[in-house]
């Protein structure tokens, strides 16, 4: 157990729907990062939150949004889902600096 908890582990939904993925960082970690891993794109950075504030955005679609709550857990919201959104979604957490990134076990999203 890495200490980073992601739920749900698996999610199957239809095109056009909206889902929410949840991530609880390791105790004491202030940063949460979201990554998408698909077969043809590898691990792609989506967004970074630090202590509730957005710090950086990567290749995140406008249909996707995220937030980090006061208790430091984070949610990634994916809407108007398309078949191409099927992927593994990972979150990682780290302390204040970049040292010690730890990944969760991921959420496998299948859009049918």
Instruction: Return residues touching another protein (CB under 8 A).
Output: 2, 4, 30-31, 33, 35, 39-45, 48, 50, 55-56, 58, 90, 92, 94-106
16 or 56: whose CB is closer to another protein? 56
- 7 vs 25, 77, 87, 90, CA distance in Å? 12, 13, 15, 10
Side-chain half-sphere of 20: how many Cα atoms within 13 Å?
7
| CB atoms closer than 10 angstroms to residue 106 | 19
Smallest distance, another protein to C-beta of residue 45, A: 5
Smallest distance, another protein to C-beta of residue 52, A: 14
| CB atoms closer than 10 angstroms to residue 46 | 20
11 or 18: whose CB is closer to another protein? 11
Smallest distance, another protein to C-beta of residue 88, A: 8
2 or 110: whose CB is closer to another protein? 2
CA dist 64 and 84 (Å) reads 13
């Amino acid at each position: 157990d890495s200490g980073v908890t992601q739920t749900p582990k698996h999610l199957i939904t239809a095109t056009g729907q909206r889902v929410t993925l949840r991530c609880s960082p390791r105790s004491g970690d202030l940063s949460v990062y979201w990554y998408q891993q698909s077969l043809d794109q590898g691990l792609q950075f989506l967004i970074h939150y630090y202590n509730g504030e957005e710090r950086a955005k990567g290749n995140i679609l406008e249909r996707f949004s995220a937030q980090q709550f006061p208790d430091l857990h984070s949610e990634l919201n994916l809407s108007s889902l398309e078949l191409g959104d099927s992927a593994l979604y990972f979150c990682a957490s780290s302390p204040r600096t970049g040292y010690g990134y730890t990944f969760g076990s991921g959420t496998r999203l299948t859009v049918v």
